[in-house]
């Protein structure tokens, strides 16, 4: 899906768009129950201005939306902060709007467990702090050339903008996980360690772990020109269990008669 396409208002935003956004939210350590609220806030923001696509939204649009929430008596401070963080993920991490790189300067930084501490009601899940979490700016400031080369290789192959976003995100997370070391200094063992971290600590789905692996294989083979070779055995993420489908006798008979 092309970034920012068909997002004039909620009726034009596909389910796939919001599912991709939800995945980005979950990657940042937000609990599933809270992630649904992130989607709700982002959808409300999408509907708040008709005729202006999400790609065209500015900091003033965000500011107006947040200020409007602040004046709603039925909303608590933690809810307004949650909405603001939902829009940060939408604008900065998902849509990658240029102006959003200065989000913390414009709106203040509430990212992470520390910033949300004390603002959530009793019993609400806190946001976990993960070892591979960081802002794009942190990585790009130190390893911008690697990210630029990655982007170039992806675009010369005419991959989708979503693939570009996902691969960049995994490379940034990989670098962050290894304490900002250059991928050139790392290799198969470092990749294996990160994949096991995703399975054991982050408890990601198998498809997510495979996505990370694909991104890192592409980085080393196509960008750094240093194929990983044999990574070796590593802990695989669990695949979701599917409940068996039990048919009634009538349904079995209909199936056999078909």
> Could you give the CA distance from residue 155 to residue 147 in angstroms, rounded to a whole number?
12
- Tell me what pLDDT residue 204 has: 75
Residue 112 lies in a domain: yes
- Tell me what pLDDT residue 47 has: 87
The stretch 90-100 carries a mean pLDDT of 89
Higher pLDDT, 132 or 97: 97
User: Based on the domain organization, do 109 and 156 belong to the same domain?
Assistant: no
Write the pLDDT tens digit of every residue in 17-37. Answer: 999 999 999 887 788 888 899
Query: For position 83, which CATH number holds?
Result: 1.10.150
Percent of the chain whose predicted confidence (pLDDT) is above 90: 15
User: Based on the domain organization, do 100 and 143 belong to the same domain?
Assistant: no
User: Based on the domain organization, do 106 and 43 belong to the same domain?
Assistant: yes
Closest CA to 40 of 101, 89, 4: 89
Closest CA to 4 of 104, 98, 86: 98
Q: Find the DSSP H helices in 71-205.
A: 77-88, 103-107, 113-116, 136-156, 161-177, 188-200
Task: Indicate the range of 35-44, 124-133, 191-200 predicted with least confidence.
Answer: 124-133
Domain boundary residue among 116, 146, 179? Answer: 116
Segments forming the whole domain that contains residue 207: 136-223
- Tell me what pLDDT residue 199 has: 82
Give the distance, in angstroms, between the CA of residue 79 and the centroid of all CA atoms in the same chain.
21
Number of domains into which the chain is organized: 2
Q: Which residues contact 240 (CB under 8 A, 6 or more apart)?
A: 205
- Tell me what pLDDT residue 41 has: 94
Write the pLDDT tens digit of every residue in 118-177. Answer: 334 444 444 455 777 766 677 888 888 999 999 999 999 888 877 888 888 889 889 988
- Tell me what pLDDT residue 230 has: 75
Residue 230 lies in a domain: no
Percent of the chain whose predicted confidence (pLDDT) is above 70: 74
Residue 229 lies in a domain: no
Q: Residue 96 corresponds to which tokens in the numbers above?
A: 């990658």
Q: What's the burial of 251, exposed, middle or buried (CB within 10 Å: 0-12/13-18/19+)?
A: exposed
> Could you give the CA distance from residue 136 to residue 170 in angstroms, rounded to a whole number?
11
Q: Where residue 51 falls among pLDDT bands split at 50, 70, 90?
A: confident
Query: For position 209, which CATH number holds?
Result: 1.10.150.130
Higher pLDDT, 200 or 217: 217
Helix (H, G, I), strand (E, B) or coil at 15: helix
Q: What average pLDDT is seen over the chain? A: 77
């Amino acid at each position: 899906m092309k970034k920012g396409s068909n997002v004039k208002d909620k009726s034009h935003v596909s389910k796939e768009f919001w599912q991709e956004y939800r995945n980005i939210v979950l990657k940042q350590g937000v609990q599933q129950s809270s992630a649904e609220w992130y989607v709700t806030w982002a959808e409300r923001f999408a509907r708040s201005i008709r005729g202006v696509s999400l790609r065209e939204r500015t900091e003033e649009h965000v500011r107006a939306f947040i200020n409007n929430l602040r004046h709603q008596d039925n909303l608590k401070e933690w809810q307004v902060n949650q909405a603001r963080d939902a829009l940060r993920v939408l604008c900065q991490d998902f849509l990658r709007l240029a102006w959003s790189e200065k989000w913390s300067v414009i709106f203040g930084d509430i990212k992470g467990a520390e910033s949300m501490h004390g603002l959530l009601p009793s019993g609400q899940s806190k946001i976990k702090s993960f070892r591979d979490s960081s802002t794009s700016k942190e990585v790009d400031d130190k390893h911008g050339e690697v990210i630029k080369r990655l982007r170039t290789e992806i675009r010369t192959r005419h991959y989708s903008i979503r693939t570009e976003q996902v691969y960049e995100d995994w490379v940034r997370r990989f670098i962050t996980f290894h304490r900002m070391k250059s991928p050139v200094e790392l290799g198969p063992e470092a990749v294996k360690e990160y994949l096991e971290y995703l399975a054991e600590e982050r408890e990601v789905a198998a498809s997510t772990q495979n996505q990370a692996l694909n991104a890192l294989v592409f980085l080393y083979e196509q960008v750094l020109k240093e194929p990983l070779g044999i990574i070796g055995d590593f802990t695989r993420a669990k695949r979701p269990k599917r409940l068996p489908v039990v048919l009634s006798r009538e349904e079995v008979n209909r199936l056999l008669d078909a």
